[in-house]
Amino acid sequence: MAKVPRVIIIDPDRESAVELQKMLQLIGFEVLASAGYGVEAFTLALQLRPDLVLLRVEEPLVRPIQTLVKLNDGMPDLPIIVYSTEANIRLMRQSMVGGASDYLQEPLTEEELEASILRVLERKEREMARRRGELEDPVPQGTIVTVFGAKGGIGKTTIASNLAVALAMDAHQTVALVDMDTRFGDVAITMDIPVERSIADLARNLHNIDRVTLRDYLVEHESGVRILPAPTRPSDWRNLTAAHIRDVVDVLAQTHDFVVLDTPGTFNEIVAAAIEVGTIILLITTLDMASIKDTVLALEMLHERFGNDEERIKVILNRAGMDTGVKEKDVERTLDSPLWWKIPQDIDVMKAGQLGRPIVMSRPNSKAAVEMREIARALAGIRNRNRAAKGGGLGRLIRPLFKRSA
């Protein structure tokens, strides 16, 4: 961003406004002034024409929401970020209906505040550029699910394949499953499909691909999942770059609701690209000490790149309940991160893999299949009322949204 963003604070609590001003100045933003609600706030915004407004909203809501609505009506292009000590749905909804661009829950952190401001201002810049005709029309974009783990043998391919099938069959989504395992590439075996063309072939011919010819490179599974297999010769990976991966995934995301990326238990340029493009990253670990140690390092790397983004980075414990001497609560403490989901140890998973038929199809009511089907439903935004009432999987998806911001 070329210029320093100019901000005004609307907060009747003067001490709070001063503290927020200090935080903003430390981050590097220019605070023009602060004001209370009503006429003072509207007059100040009209005179100073800031790039952004930070507005406190607390009960009773009459004055703060009235101020928010008036600002939005009078200056519809002015982004307004609401902050509050409360995180209840009613307050959030009224703020968003009133025109808020984002909602932050106190106590605020410098990292969170800066990220919100930059995100809101970038969105405004894109909107203005599109109005001026400087941007191309937006294209459809599906959700990219990167299944990642820092160690081999922890069930990534099994989870990726079953999630893809569950998304297609249970959630009725269009799904592409991409085998990006540069070492083994077992998706074809797990799904029992032939490999005639691979991701390497698609990448080589990407400039000639359209929505129709794209299907020639995908193998359609009986579940409806379209699979882009790994090359049968590992040497074919040598000609693929991170740019190829990004382009391939982008094309698939324009034509599918979900793109599931199965990655190897290592870290290289291909895996880095898969993580970078992921809308959501499912980090797989087990109760094995080596897996936990490697997952700690993987989380550090992901947090360094994306921040502590619980919406984007979800840790899944596979083979939960397995007797290794390690407790699940110890895993959370060691990782310093919550477990988003737990898939239980289930001997039927291995049997299904040997038959080349995902367990969500062969044994849909088995323990592991039930959990993977519910993960798929949660990713697709389909509420499972029974689980939500018990504080189960979908509750684990929703709760982080209201911890700090919405």
Confidence bin at 291 (pLDDT 50/70/90): very high
DSSP 283-303: EEE-S-HHHHHHHHHHHHHHH
pLDDT tens-digit readout, 332-366: 999 988 999 999 999 888 888 777 889 999 999 99
| Structure confidence at residue 384 as a pLDDT band (50, 70, 90) | low
Given this model, what pLDDT does residue 137 score? 66
d(CA 341, CA 255): 28
Question: Which pLDDT tens digit goes with each residue over 237-251?
Answer: 888 888 888 988 998
Residue 109 contacts by C-beta under 8 Å, 6 or more apart in sequence?
A: 404
The predicted pLDDT at position 2 comes to 55
Residue type at 7 in one-letter notation: V
pLDDT exceeds 80 at position 390 = no
- Classified as helix, coil or strand, 336 is coil
pLDDT at 397 over 60: no
Mean pLDDT, the chain, rounded, equals 88
Q: For 383, what's the count of Cα atoms within 13 Å in the CB-facing half-sphere? A: 8
Percentage of the chain beyond pLDDT 70 is 93
At 133-185, the pLDDT tens digits run 777 766 778 999 999 998 888 999 999 999 999 999 999 999 999 999 877 77
pLDDT over threshold 70, residue 194: yes
SS3 content of the chain, % helix, strand, coil (to 5): 50, 15, 35
CA distance 11 to 19: 11
| Domains of the chain: residue spans and CATH | 6-131 (3.40.50.2300), 143-400 (3.40.50.300)
Average pLDDT over residues 33-46: 93
First and final C-alpha spacing in the chain: 24
Distance CA 315, CA 147 (A): 10
pTM for the whole structure: 0.72
Cα gap 264→17, rounded to integer Å: 49
What is the pLDDT confidence band of residue 388, given thresholds at 50, 70 and 90?
very low
Going by C-beta distance under 8 Å and a sequence separation of 6 or more, which residues neighbour residue 365?
Answer: none
| Residue 289 in this model has a pLDDT that exceeds 50 | yes
Element (H, E) at 263: none
The model's confidence at residue 330, banded by pLDDT at 50, 70 and 90, is confident
Show the CA angle centred on residue 213, arms to residues 210 and 219, nearest 5°. 125
Residue 389: pLDDT band (50, 70, 90) is very low
Report whether pLDDT(221) > 70: yes
